[in-house]
Amino acid sequence: MGQEDIWKNGEGDNWFKRNHGYLVSWQPENDMPLKLLNKYPIIPKKVLEVGCCNGYRLATIAKKHKSLCYGIDPSAEAIEDGKRRYPSINLSVGVASDLHFKDGEFDMVVINFVFHWLARERLLRAVSEIDRILKWEGYLLVGDFLPVSPCKVKYHHISEVETWTYKQNYCEMFTRSNLYNIVGAITGSHLTGKISNKATSDHKTSYFLLQKRAEYAEVKLKPE
């Protein structure tokens, strides 16, 4: 059983249960991805969040920008909870490496603290899928750990099978292709959940807002 199967077959639900208290008390003004997004005059029309939990962040985006919002998560319990709480958000069970959406369907994709869970044999496929469904000139918001150098850490919530998290700069997966520009970034601490310039390598987090470069599109873009 691979890591993707572990999350689909129960650990996704377990994560949702463990973090339910945080979700109940969550405030949008303290959310790091939203803090970064709010720094720029961007009004997304159609948004996908990969690893959306119950859609709490998408509900805020939809309310502020009147965006059409979609979310996928491996936790069936999180998705069912979100459907009850946020009926206007389109939520479904899914994983990053298999996105059932059309090419260029979204003008914004959010993937926050998901990449480090992915099994390495699925990582490039997930990157490819995200790039595929994001339109040219669209925005990608990536949040994850930012250690000094890539590292592999044992996942302590599961003991019966060996499971890992992988910490690295995932922004580089997109920018090194030369297909994405960095619009903006902030760093923080995983311990406090706040913007910080003093977090140690083990706990440093990063949030990057990227834009897909239209000049590389094979077909000239037409004004909407």
Tell me, yes or no, whether 169 lies in a domain: yes
Tell me, yes or no, whether 20 lies in a domain: yes
Which are the contacts of 106, defined by CB distance < 8 A and separation ≥ 6?
A: 46, 47, 48, 70, 133, 134, 135, 138
How many domains, in total, are found in the chain? 1
Domain around 136 = 3-214
Tell me, yes or no, whether 221 lies in a domain: no
Q: What are 114-173's pLDDT values in tens digits?
A: 999 999 999 999 999 999 999 999 999 999 999 999 999 998 888 778 889 999 999 999
Report residue 219's pLDDT band, with 50, 70 and 90 as the boundaries: low
Which are the contacts of 119, defined by CB distance < 8 A and separation ≥ 6?
A: 2, 3, 4
Report residue 222's pLDDT band, with 50, 70 and 90 as the boundaries: low
Tell me, yes or no, whether 91 lies in a domain: yes
Tell me, yes or no, whether 222 lies in a domain: no
Q: What are 23-75's pLDDT values in tens digits?
A: 889 999 999 999 999 999 999 999 999 999 999 999 999 999 999 999 999 99
CATH number at residue 145: 3.40.50.150
Local structure of 66: helix, strand or coil = coil
